[in-house]
């Protein structure tokens, strides 16, 4: 242990402002000198929401009844509690000063009005908050639930299971590679595309035999542009989501496969009524690049843009819960900075990278390479999005309900019962979405046959360098 961090017994003093206070007694953490505490009211308040602690400004000579101490600029002559010493306040993002475990070069500056804590834990600016958050996480580990194991998955948007190959994907080759390297791929399939798959097709058999490494989730309904971002009324959103659900159920009956009730919205667009409809119709989660896609709905919007009531902890916990409690599994484009994946791992968030069939233009080696990078971040469990949702947002999930409790025993005011679900009308039949999907599939297959040039997988639409401006 670093000499600056001394873990000794301290008299417990109980804070009052932490959101954990109804469950546990927050630890009292002194900040010296007191004016360094007074300079950062938003920062300390955000950390009090994130960890069961209560901060209090102190002077070096008045350290009684503390459980821990953050000393800024000067070390106390004596402290019989855990102490984190910071040489000073954060002046510039990530100064190059080397940082030892247990000591930090600086503490974070005050959060700007409306700034999310996650903004201080991003590539290029994370050292100050990372050290402080690590200190608080270790300090309060015995007061919080054990952190979830790391979960990971790749998601490939758009393919269907009509044939063994889709575009650059050969499902048999993909399964073989996933088995060899231990990763998992979830195919985000458009429900409209599920209509021609059948139980005995080669692709269906591969998914059935390789369910440990290959799974399916739901990608929109018709894939009619940003269709899930359009509904402005709950009833319209429910019509769309219920049709996706019915098509998915029909696909499952026809093929014997299971599709995770996790929605990957086309073009990363999701209106708030659509999010509520997903919850009402029994989806376990939504998987997207932004926690509030209806606020962060354009490329110009910051990926953490959120409603004021969401507070400073957006994208801080393993999952965000939005719109009546729908869990959000954050995902990132395949080329997302690996530094940010390490930060996600620190936060216990799932490590989900996505792209399109072009990622496999050179075979599945790119996935194996990315899996090896992700595996360096810890003891990673590769699994389906449904399993990730059940692990990180346990409770009322579709599978939990089916396995553990009859629907009538579940009290969830946000959920519709089977009768209400069945009463949601179908939308009018339209030919245009079918034509569009067939054209898209023909384009993807032609690309793989090199009737059109294959893009460089490192610059393909699924491999842009950041997730925060992602579009599907
Ligand atoms: Zn798509």
pLDDT tens readout for residues 40-86: 999 999 999 999 999 999 998 888 889 999 999 877 777 788 889 88
Instruction: For residue 397, name the pLDDT band (cuts at 50, 70, 90).
Output: very low
Q: What is the pLDDT of residue 10?
A: 29
Domain ranges of the chain: 27-143, 150-463
Distance 224 CA to ligand 1 centre (A): 9
Beta bridge partners of 188: 157, 217
Distance 219 CA to ligand 1 centre (A): 7
Question: Does the pLDDT at position 234 exceed 80?
Answer: yes
Distance 226 CA to ligand 1 centre (A): 9
Distance 140 CA to ligand 1 centre (A): 42
Q: What is the pLDDT of residue 103?
A: 58
Q: What is the pLDDT of residue 404?
A: 36
Distance 472 CA to ligand 1 centre (A): 5
CATH number of the 150-463 domain: 3.20.20.370
Distance 385 CA to ligand 1 centre (A): 17
Distance 158 CA to ligand 1 centre (A): 5
Distance separating alpha carbons of residues 430 and 223, to the nearest angstrom: 13
Which tens digit of pLDDT belongs to each residue from 106-127? 889 999 999 999 999 999 889 8
**Preceding omega of 284 cis (within 30 degrees of 0):** no
Distance separating alpha carbons of residues 286 and 9, to the nearest angstrom: 44
Distance 44 CA to ligand 1 centre (A): 41
Q: What is the pLDDT of residue 428?
A: 87
Q: What is the pLDDT of residue 285?
A: 96
Instruction: For residue 472, name the pLDDT band (cuts at 50, 70, 90).
Output: low
Distance 178 CA to ligand 1 centre (A): 22
Instruction: For residue 91, name the pLDDT band (cuts at 50, 70, 90).
Output: low
Token couple for 435: 């034509």
Q: What is the pLDDT of residue 400?
A: 44
Distance 286 CA to ligand 1 centre (A): 14
Distance 418 CA to ligand 1 centre (A): 29
Classify each residue of 43-72 as buried b or exposed e, where b means 16 or more C-beta atoms within 10 Å of its C-beta: bbbbbbbbbbbbbbbbebeebeebbbbbbb
Question: Does the pLDDT at position 98 exceed 80?
Answer: no
Distance 155 CA to ligand 1 centre (A): 11
Question: Does the pLDDT at position 168 exceed 50?
Answer: yes
Q: What is the pLDDT of residue 420?
A: 85
Largest Cα separation within the chain, whole Å, is 77
Rg, C-alpha atoms of the chain: 24
Distance separating alpha carbons of residues 231 and 215, to the nearest angstrom: 28
Distance 404 CA to ligand 1 centre (A): 33
Segment 424-451 shows an average pLDDT of 87
DSSP for 160-199, please give it: -SSSSEETTEEHHHHHHHHHHHT--EEEEE-GGGGGG--T
Which tens digit of pLDDT belongs to each residue from 344-388? 999 999 999 999 999 999 999 999 999 999 999 999 999 999 999
Distance 266 CA to ligand 1 centre (A): 5
Q: What is the pLDDT of residue 221?
A: 97
Distance 225 CA to ligand 1 centre (A): 8
Which tens digit of pLDDT belongs to each residue from 182-217? 999 999 999 999 988 888 899 999 999 999 999 999
**Between 292 and 451, where is the model more confident?**
292
Which tens digit of pLDDT belongs to each residue from 241-278? 999 999 999 999 999 999 999 999 999 999 999 999 99
The pocket of ion ligand 1, defined by CB under 5 A, consists of 157-158, 266, 472
DSSP 8-state code for residue 88: S
Q: What is the pLDDT of residue 448?
A: 85
Q: What is the pLDDT of residue 421?
A: 85
């Amino acid at each position: 242990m670093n000499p600056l961090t001394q873990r000794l017994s301290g008299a417990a003093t109980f804070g009052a402002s932490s959101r954990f206070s109804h469950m546990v007694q927050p630890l009292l953490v002194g900040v010296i000198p007191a004016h360094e505490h007074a300079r950062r009211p938003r920062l300390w308040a955000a950390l009090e929401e994130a960890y069961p602690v209560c901060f209090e400004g102190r002077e070096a000579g008045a350290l009684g009844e503390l459980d821990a101490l953050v000393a800024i600029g000067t070390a106390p002559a004596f402290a019989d509690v855990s102490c984190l010493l910071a040489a000073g306040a954060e002046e510039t993002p990530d100064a190059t000063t080397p940082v030892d475990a247990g000591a930090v070069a600086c503490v974070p500056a005050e959060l700007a009005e409306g700034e999310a804590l996650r903004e201080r834990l991003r590539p290029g600016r994370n050292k100050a908050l990372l050290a402080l958050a690590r200190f608080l996480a270790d300090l309060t580990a015995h007061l919080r639930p054990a952190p979830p194991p790391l979960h990971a998955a790749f998601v490939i948007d758009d393919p269907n299971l009509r044939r063994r190959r889709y575009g650059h994907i050969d499902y048999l080759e993909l399964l073989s590679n996933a088995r060899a390297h231990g990763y998992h791929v979830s195919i985000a399939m458009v429900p409209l595309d599920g209509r021609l798959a059948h139980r005995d097709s080669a692709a269906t058999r591969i998914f059935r035999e390789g369910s440990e490494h290959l799974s399916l989730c739901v990608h929109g309904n018709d894939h009619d542009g940003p269709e899930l971002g359009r509904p402005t009324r709950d009833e319209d959103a429910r019509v769309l989501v219920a049709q996706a659900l019915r098509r998915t159920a029909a696909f499952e009956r026809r093929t014997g496969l299971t599709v995770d009730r996790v929605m990957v919205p086309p073009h990363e667009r999701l209106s708030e009524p659509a999010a509520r409809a997903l919850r009402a119709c029994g989806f376990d989660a939504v998987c997207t690049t932004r926690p509030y896609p209806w606020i962060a709905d354009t490329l110009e919007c910051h990926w953490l843009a959120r409603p004021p009531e969401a507070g400073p902890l957006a994208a801080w916990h393993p999952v965000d819960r939005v719109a009546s409690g729908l869990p959000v599994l954050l995902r990132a484009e395949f080329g997302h900075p690996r530094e940010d994946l390490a930060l996600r791992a620190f936060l216990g968030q799932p490590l989900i990278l996505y792209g399109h069939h072009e990622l496999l233009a050179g075979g599945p080696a790119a996935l194996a390479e990315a899996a090896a990078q992700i595996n360096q971040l810890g003891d990673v469990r590769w699994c389906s999005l449904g399993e990730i949702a059940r692990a990180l947002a346990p409770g009322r999930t579709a599978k939990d309900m089916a396995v553990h409790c009859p629907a009538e025993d579940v009290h969830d005011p946000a959920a519709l019962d089977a009768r209400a679900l069945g009463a949601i009308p179908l939308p009018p039949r339209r030919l245009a979405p079918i034509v569009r999907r067939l054209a898209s599939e023909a384009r993807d297959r032609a690309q793989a046959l090199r009737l059109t040039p294959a893009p460089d997988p490192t610059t393909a639409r699924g491999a842009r360098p950041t997730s925060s401006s992602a579009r599907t």
